[in-house]
Structure 1
């Protein structure tokens, strides 16, 4: 019991730079209090003392502002930072080393009995105000951005932002490895299109930027294939005439770029959002 308590307190030190000493964490962290009371309530729930378990859960909510149903299953080294407004439903399953920030909801979308709340894999981080709704799995190591609303499965290692939640980063190999894209040439195409004119890069969690980048990569791959086909045709038929593709002019895209600028302000006008709540 005491070894488990020490493990929980050490997890706070590992994830909160504001934590200074053992006594401060033990007495002043509502997330830790809610976790300890939930463990007692969950034990009572498993012993079929459901009314007593719910009463303890209600007391915990009064004390900490965190509502965890005693039927929820919580893994080891679970950490709720700040905590106010966190709600975890009855059939939620939370893995090890998971971190939640204030205002997070692990809820359901159905009144049917049975599994109706999400399952969070090991190492998941859920930003402040995010809502994960439904009986699906958020894969290990995934990150859910602040205020995102997630209603479908999230792959392991992915980052999800927005309403509704969209995957903006995966743990899968990058697109360069799939399409064999030359990064220098891709950057040249981006500059030709004026892609960076509205201050969004491929590293930012922006679904529109990622979509544009994917289209540019695909165009580059198609150009490479066409050049290889033309080279092969010239070898087979010396009389083959290799026509030149028309040049892309900046003025051809002026109207599109104006529309993009109007809906996507420059980077220095956009509030930063890294998908987590840091002190």
Structure 2
């Protein structure tokens, strides 16, 4: 998908949850962060000629910092995020620069997806498609969150999560095989 198609898919996801054009574009901090990320990611992936790359990356990095300070949402340009990404609430969202997130995923407020572990287990998560990560959750380490998984509020996930599974707690444990279908 092109950058504009990705932005449009994100916008359609926000519309699905009941937002108007004015509300989404001018008053939804999650959409601001995603819009800025999509443009920065396009520059990160596509512009290779160093003089242009340096100038654009510098400007977009400053814009990212303004968005980060304004919204409390940090999405580095190098993160890989699929289409129809949705941040449901304001603030406290931090993604490691090496994170991979699939298509049609939702994050709530105060979610951290980052690096953890020791030795061979050190790394960042790969998150599949149709995953919902609820408020105040941490997903960390070289793990895989499979398609359709749901991570409940206030959870610490440091091991793989199977498809269509709901996990909850510290450390997160399987509580259901219902997954994210009703939440996405």
Structure 1 and Structure 2 fold alike (TM over 0.5): yes
Can you give the 5+ residue segments of structure 2 that lack an aligned partner in the other structure?
Answer: none
Structure with the largest fraction of strand: 2
Structure with the largest fraction of helix: 1
Structure of greater Rg = 1
1:56/1:45 CA distance change after superposition, 3 Å: farther
Describe the superposition over 1:147-182 as per-residue Cα deviations: whole angstroms up to 9, x where unpaired: 1000010001100000000011236xxxxxxxxxxx
Q: Pairwise mapping of residues 98-247 of structure 1 onto structure 2 (< 5 A)?
A: 98-110=105-117, 116-170=123-177
Hey, what does 1:95 align to over in structure 2? 102
Contact residue 117 and residue 142 of structure 2 kept, 8 A: no
Contact residue 117 and residue 134 of structure 1 kept, 8 A: yes
Describe the superposition over 1:207-259 as per-residue Cα deviations: whole angstroms up to 9, x where unpaired: xxxxxxxxxxxxxxxxxxxxxxxxxxxxxxxxxxxxxxxxxxxxxxxxxxxxx
Give the CA RMSD over aligned residues.
2.5
Q: Kindly tell me the number of residue pairs found equivalent between the two proteins.
A: 169
Hey, what does 1:5 align to over in structure 2? 7
Hey, what does 2:41 align to over in structure 1? 42
Deviation of 1:63 (Å): 2.6
Deviation of 1:80 (Å): 0.3
Contact residue 142 and residue 156 of structure 1 kept, 8 A: yes
Runs (4+) off by over 6 Å: none
